[in-house]
Structure formats: structure tokens, C-alpha cells
Structure 1
């Protein structure tokens, strides 16, 4: 098994590819901001794949281990991560691109891509150190 086929490394690589694809969509939205009738596009949120056993046990949620009877079990909050619906303003030309919103998405996407890249590099370096490979 190579180091790049480990689940964490694969997930980070998939995340970086998702951000690259999203950046293409966002750049297209910005470049077509004055095109009559253009509708902005975006990718669905990135959902990392969790093992089949954890999906089956908790309805898609990874269960928390209760290691001491004195620990609180806790509950899941409903709608804690919900975002308000995006308001789409359509100009008389039929264009629905909001440049400010698109540029915020671009900046957020770039920041998250840099984080994934950094984690990917650090994970590979840590694996090289653990394997005793020179040049880490």
C-alpha cells in the first residue's frame, strides 16, 4: 500500500480537486457577470466518504465513544449549521450574478484549498518520517 492511497490522504486529494473544480465555476460566474441571462453555478458542498459501518450505525453520523459512565451522552443540535437562503437578484438583462458574493466565495474557496493543501503536505511529511524515508 502506498502512502498516497491511505484514506486521509485520498480524502484530502479529493477535497483539493473539488476546490479546483469549484474555482472554475466561480471564475466563470465572475467573468460572465455582464452576460445577459447568465445564471451563476456552484458545486454541491464537499461530503467526505465515511466508512459503511459508521454510516449504518448512526444514520450517516460517526458515533461518539462513551468511555466512562460519568461522561455526558450529548445530543445533536438540529439546524445549527444552517445558512440563510441566498437572495438572488436578477437584473433586467436576466443576469443573476452578484459580484460581491461571488468574490467572497472565491476568497473562501481559496482559503479552504490552501488549508487542504497544507494538511496534505503535512500528512505526507509525517508518513515519510514514520516510515523512515529520507528527504522528508
Structure 2
């Protein structure tokens, strides 16, 4: 087992990949700010409870009004703006221009800045964790 296979490093890598994907969507929103009928998109973070072992515990959430239970984050839900991965606060409150475009540049730039600072924090934690492991095995 290599040092980079530790669960904490895997979680930090996943978080960095999530922030990279979100930055791509936010950049796409800004790039399409003048396209008619374009609606902004964003990734919703799936918050899961943490069990005693530190691993995420599965949670059931109701999808739609038909009573279908989503017991795992990997399950496919209904595709809609209020689906299982949609963040309702991200889809409400933006203005739609007469052309049908719903991109608010100020809001998108605020999200991009917040996302960048969160990514930098996670990357720093990853680097500090690697440094601590190197010290522990005497490589530094």
C-alpha cells in the first residue's frame, strides 16, 4: 500500500476533482452569458453524514412526489431542476433577461472566487498531509 492510497488523501483528491468540475461549469456559464435561452448550471455538493468509522453513511432522500427513495448517492434520480443533485438556492433568485438568458455575471464571478479559494484550501491540506506523512516515515 502506497502512502497516496490513504482514505484521507483519496477524499481530498475527490474534493479537488469536484472543485475542478464546478469551475468548468461556472466558466461555461460566464462564456454563455449572452446566449439566448441559456440557463446557468452548477454542481450541488452532496452532504452526507459521517459514521463512527469516518466513512459516509448512506442516507435516504425522497425524489419527486412519487415516493421513490434514493438510498445511495450513486443512484440515478429524476432529471429536473429540483432533482436530487440540484441545489435549490442556486436555481432561485436569478433574473431572466428578455432574451431568456438567466446568467448573472456578478453571481457567477462570486461563485468562481469562492470555488477557487475552497480548491486552494483543499490543495493546501493535501500538501500538508503529504508533508506530515513524509516526516513520519523519515523521508524529510
Matched residue, 2:94: 88
CA distance in 1, matches of 2:36, 2:126: 41
Alignment-derived partner of residue 19 in structure 1: 19
Instruction: Calculate the aligned-residue CA RMSD, in Å.
Output: 2.8
| Runs of 4+ with >2 A deviation | 46-56, 83-86
Cα distance in 2 between the residues matched to 1:103 and 1:95: 16
- Structure 1: state its 5+ residue gaps: 61-82
Q: Which runs of 5+ in 2 are unaligned?
A: 61-88
Higher relative contact order, chain-length normalized (CA < 8 Å, sep 6+)? 1
Deviation by residue 1:45-88 (Cα, 9 ceiling, x = unmatched) = 154784586637xx69xxxxxxxxxxxxxxxxxxxxxx697302
1:26, 1:102 within 8 Å by CA — same for their partners in 2? Answer: yes
> Hey, which of these two has a bigger chunk of strand by percent?
2
Specify the SS of the correspondent of 2:16. helix
CA pair 121-26 structure 1, distance change in 2 beyond 3 A = same
- Alpha-carbon spacing, 1:85–1:32, altered in 2? closer, same or farther (3 Å): closer
